[in-house]
Amino acid sequence: MPKSLIIVESPSKAKTLKKYLGRNFNVMASVGHVKDLPKSKFGVDIEKNFKPRYVIIRGKKKILDEIKKAAEAADKVYLAPDPDREGEAIAWHIAEELNGKRNKIYRVLFNEITEQAVKKALTQPGKIDQKKVNAQQARRILDRIVGYTISPLLWEKVRRGLSAGRVQSVAVRLVCEREKEIEAFVSEEYWSITAKLSGSTPHSFMARLHSIAGEPVKISTEVQAQEKVQMLQGLTYAVQQIERKDKKKNPLPPFTTSKLQQDAARKLRFSPKKTMMLAQQLYEGVEIGTEGPVGLITYMRTDSTRLSAEAQQEARTYIQDQYGRNYLPQQPNIYKNKKGAQDAHEAIRPTSVQRDPEGLKQFLHKDLYQLYKLIWTRFLASQMNPAILEVTRVDIAAGEYLFRATGTVTRFPGFMAVYVEAQDNGAVKPAKADTQAGEEGAADLEEEAGSLPMLREGERLDLISLEPKQHFTQPPPRYNEALLIKELEEREIGRPSTYHTIISTIQDRKYVEKMEGRLKPTDLGEIVNELLVTHFPDVLNVEFTARMEQELDEIEEGDKKWVETVRDFYEPFNKRLEKAQHEMRDIKREETPTDIVCDRCGLPMVIRWGKNGRFLACTGYPDCRNTKEFTQDESGQLSIVQKETTTSNLCEQCGSPMVIKTGRYGR
């Protein structure tokens, strides 16, 4: 009896499917894409409506031959790569290679790899979605046009080996522009005054000076702060007003791809690339004891917060059983998708809420467990009641001076019994000098807020101490990976399947480096960004890039032809390319004078660009080939990097001192 053939892209996914489908199905893996544009050639015929020339990827011919042989013997062929554009393209390329067997080729889609979902998908087979294939093809060709034409220009003008990407270059621009904001920021000094007070109970509390004669506090210097402290010492302090109110704190929606990457970066310190690698494993199947491989989460590339009715009901049953009716809303919580969301797949959630993280802990390595727990708790919390917080605000009068204390206590934990939100460290805009003690002061106290002692209006208070404190307004922070993903998403640049690739690529290409967890442009990144912004303003324009993403979505919806989109991009781009080839600065030949003198021949040294970045070169070249590595501080001061540093360690062979050598490739 002939078997049905199912083709997926991942061996681990194939292993999970085999467990569910039994002997009547042969499951094979393509191990990713099988065809692509050639690496060594442009591969796109501009004159023939941008016709791509796909070739079999190196190492994939043997896999394709095995798939073809299995397809010959099968009565039906089910193409089951991931349910997104890349998955559709993989299915399409395999179908092209199986030409002549189209009457028995079907496309099947499942959002989760569970026995029920897989078997249901096989009862509802469809055809390859050519519109989705066209959207992927358009993206691939646009990226090839940009990368294959700008990169050689950068080789010629800056150094060999550089590359430009249509979306990645925009991400580099965002990092460079943030760095310019930081460099241009002028910090302003200001002071706050905090009073330590106590009432009729023995517990003391802190209150911040909030206003003077009804006007916001403005204290710019230490002298002014000390003057205020002196004035405040002999005053009478009394509770002027107490305001208590309940505040609802609603749960967050279940994860989309970008929100998962952001939360994993904040809470677990995972890079987006690591998060997606782990999520892929959880989706495709993890060995769970005697059960074998089990798909633990739904598809991890999604921009939707939608949940199936079955998933909502399962969560509600679990909440009632484990936490009680007080934690269960009357109706399931439903969340609105952001504008422009494709909503092709559900939110990221566990395939079964009954598989709680603690029960799986013994089967998952630490990182997998942490990510699964994050997904599980966020999903469960999304279907719980809000938390109820009691916020108390106490205004304390001392003559014309008003101090304010804030306390927050949890009256009902609600979803917070399961999930606690993470905050971005330093993810706020700089405080303005005219809101020193208002917004920022309140925020500071809110962060420290706990319960306040029992107080009553009119109660006299004892002043224990006054603390003046110096502050400086802060520039906007550098992006960390979570914040850059958030910025890309808000500006509609990239899609769920591309965020982690963008973040890793700009670092791999040495355009951006990570310093103390924050992203900073390298010298190379800044110079390449400057050249591209000058000569390709459209390609590097944030709004233009977002509009291209929208057009790709329109191609997938069938509202736009892919060839038209590519042509509309190519024609103005090609004109700019021709112009840039003549007008772009030749960084390779540029020399920046310095006051450093060559220690070999006495001639001045200049800054030049080489294959590993900037270096000092003697102007006596080629007679003198002396070069130096250097560093440059924020003021522009140059310091030569010593190539050898003697250490106290002795060579175990000859007894001579060991030295640390520094070169262009490191130490």
Residue numbers annotated as active site: 299
Task: Print the SS3 string covering 574-603.
Answer: HHHHHHHHHHCCCHHHCCEEEEEECCCCCC
Task: Work out the end-to-end distance of the chain between its first and last CA atoms, rounded to an integer number of angstroms.
Answer: 64
CA distance 282 to 289: 15
Q: Residue 320 and residue 38: Cα distance in Å, rounded?
A: 56
Structure tokens at 551: 């057009």
Closest C-alpha among 610, 614, 603, 609 to residue 638: 614
The H or E element spanning position 464 is: strand 460-472
Contacts of 529 (CB under 8 A, 6+ apart): 169, 172, 173, 176, 511, 521, 540
Residues 6+ apart with CB under 8 A from 207: 194, 195, 197, 394, 396, 403, 404, 405
What are the structure tokens assigned to 456, written together?
A: 């009553």
Amino acid at 516: E
DSSP code, position 429: P
Contact by Cβ (8 Å): 246, 389: yes
Radius of gyration of the chain (CA): 31
Evaluate whether 414 touches 327 at the Cβ level (below 8 Å): yes
CA 201, distance to chain mean position in Å, is 48
What are the DSSP E strand ranges found in 321-417?
A: 387-398, 401-412
Residue 512 pairs with which residues in a beta bridge? Answer: 521
Helix H or strand E encompassing 217: none
